[in-house]
Amino acid sequence: MEPPAYDNDDDQLQEQDAAAGPSVEKVFEGEPVPTPSEMFTARSVAVGVVLGTTLSVVAIKLSLTSGYMPFLTIPAGLLGFFLSRMWTRLLDGCEVLQLPFTRQENTVIQTFVVACSNIAYSGGFGSYLLAMSRNVAEDDAAYGGAKNVDEPRIGRLVAFLFLTSFVGIFAIMPFRNSLVIRHHLTFPTGTATAHLINSMHTPHGAKQASKQVSVMFKTFAGTVGWQLWQWFFAGGEGCGFQSFPIFGLTAAERGFYFDFSMTNIGVGLLSPCTITISMLVGSVISYGILLPYIEFMQGIIGISMVLADGAFHLLCILLRTLRAMRKRRHSQLATQPFMCLGVDDRPPARSFDDRRRAQVFLRDRVYDPAAAVGYVTLSVVSIAVVPYLYPQLRPAHVAIAYLVVPLFTFCNAYGVGVTDVSVASTYGRIALFLLGSWVGLENGGVVAGLAVGIIVMSAASTASDLMQVFRTGYLTLTSPHAVLISQVAGTALGCLVNPIIFWVLYGGYHDWGESLLLCKIAFAVALANSVLREVSARRGWRVGRYLPCTIAVAVGFFLPPRIPIGMFFGSVVMYLWRRLDADGARAQSMAVAAGLICGDAVGALLQSMLAMLKARPPICIMFLSRSDNKNLDAYLAASPTSS
């Protein structure tokens, strides 16, 4: 079924606006949209450099110690707002003329900071690069000889990151309009960040916006308090509320427990029930049914489903683009305001907010041929240079990696848009395994596989990060040009500062046949389900609404069940809220979700800081079965007590 074209009938548009609920953009309607040069300013660059470097230190430290990487998107938006406010107030006190601090500049700062600090993850500093080092190998012979050990060096790391960290940007650029506007993917973290930024910059006097700000900050404060309160009871391994056995202890051993993650609940508030139910179904099939039989293959089966669904949607988008190009040659559509999407990609006339955002997002066009030329150029340079940096690789290995990268980047970006979960590390592990086996242990297959793993993981991670910030820019009326420039600048800074930080901190840390059959079955079932969903949507079949989302089911295969459980809980809360108070849910749900996700991210960051300061929780709460509790009581009764 083709998306409806825009209608100039004012009555119809007014009805759509009324049905959409309170408008955010009407609150900002009196403010002109800044130009890209007024968004990407010297102030935004200075704040971005300071915050990007600071959060990179935190991210590298965490990756080398706990391996946990909290979401830094929302803390970056918050810190960018408060630091820029301090800047403007200081200069106002000195009577220095300056541009007003806008939500668009806030988005640019957040993009810059996240692009810089996320290199700590996508660059493999806490995983792939460490696995190459002699500290991890300990014994060269066990690693297959000196060819499989490679100590990190700053110069090589910087060059390698500059070659690999921009690949995902070029690969995903041609799909930005389709994913953000036509498919209208939620990208929950990007949406929550945009709502946070919009709320902080809302003009005074807007009653509805003031209520949303109040609700969001109350939820935010409550979530941060809840995180810190939980910390006091996590004084040991297996302690705390993070593993509440809501389905019983036996199910909890398989990962089916409730972890009180406000991020998962907030994402569930933003996600359709179909998505969260599909993810929960995938977890049940993987961890509850298949895992007891094939302990190590649940992620690979899930990847087979992701590739099937991603490849199908990628093919659909390419076919629509070709058809749109053919129709434009024989029509006068080039004069219409949404021509860059083509006939099939023209967004439906939703609310005033959607029309306004689409107009701004599509006004500053980023030409796709430039992205294609950039990708080809970077690929050619990498094919020549990467084997020089890592002699274990041959040009053919790098060329094949760059041929498959676009598929992985699209699949990961599409999956993040639907579920807010990135599986870039899983794509990297697949590349590591396949390439390492191809090269062979005797020829340095360990280092070769790890290097290609970084290429694939970096591309997939960077692509999903870029689409997240494009979604944030779309919701804050930020120019795609400014977002792209900020992403590139932040990535470039990250390629410089993260290797230096890593080097400083690194010195202180001295049955396949059955599984492949299941992968083939999963691929076929996923492809059939995707085709049936697309045909049902085109033909208007009622069965389409009952079909699960393929990529959501696939993500459930390699996610811990606690994540789909938390998201499903959020969807249930949203469903009941809509049944009890539809208007309130429509007006406040986004603010509540943003507060939950923001508070959880800041709370996790505070807990990480406590861990870095070597602070230990004073209390341990643990869930035991009745028999284990009796045994513990008997042991304590028999043990001598100290006075």
Question: Model confidence over 466-489: pLDDT tens digits?
Answer: 999 999 999 999 989 899 999 999
Q: What is the mean pLDDT of residues 614-637?
A: 77
Write down the pLDDT at residue 495.
92
Q: Is the pLDDT of residue 197 over 70?
A: yes
Q: Cβ(269)–Cβ(593) under 8 Å?
A: yes
Q: Is the pLDDT of residue 618 over 80?
A: yes
Of 189-203, 265-279, 341-355, 375-389, the range with the highest mean pLDDT is 375-389
Q: What is the mean pLDDT of residues 39-50?
A: 89
Q: What is the mean pLDDT of residues 607-618?
A: 76
Q: What is the mean pLDDT of residues 226-243?
A: 78
Q: What is the mean pLDDT of residues 359-369?
A: 79
Mean pLDDT of the chain: 75
Write down the pLDDT at residue 466.
92
Give the rounded percent of residues in the chain with a pLDDT score beyond 90. Answer: 11
Q: Cβ(470)–Cβ(413) under 8 Å?
A: no
CA distance 6 to 26: 20
CA distance 50 to 433: 38
Q: Is the pLDDT of residue 615 over 70?
A: yes
Give the rounded percent of residues in the chain with a pLDDT score beyond 70. Answer: 73
- In this predicted model, what pLDDT tens digit does every residue of 495-517 receive, in sequence order? 999 888 887 766 544 444 465 56
* Inter-CA distances, 233 with 552, 622, 626, Å: 33, 9, 21
The angle that helices 582-612 and 262-270 make with each other, rounded to 10 degrees, is: 150
Write down the pLDDT at residue 486.
93
Higher pLDDT, 447 or 421: 447
Write down the pLDDT at residue 212.
64
Higher pLDDT, 378 or 519: 378
Higher pLDDT, 456 or 295: 456
Higher pLDDT, 643 or 272: 272
Write down the pLDDT at residue 489.
94
Q: How many CA atoms lie within 13 A of 58 on its CB side?
A: 27
CA distance 259 to 256: 10
Higher pLDDT, 57 or 519: 57
Write down the pLDDT at residue 112.
94
Q: What is the mean pLDDT of residues 127-131?
A: 75
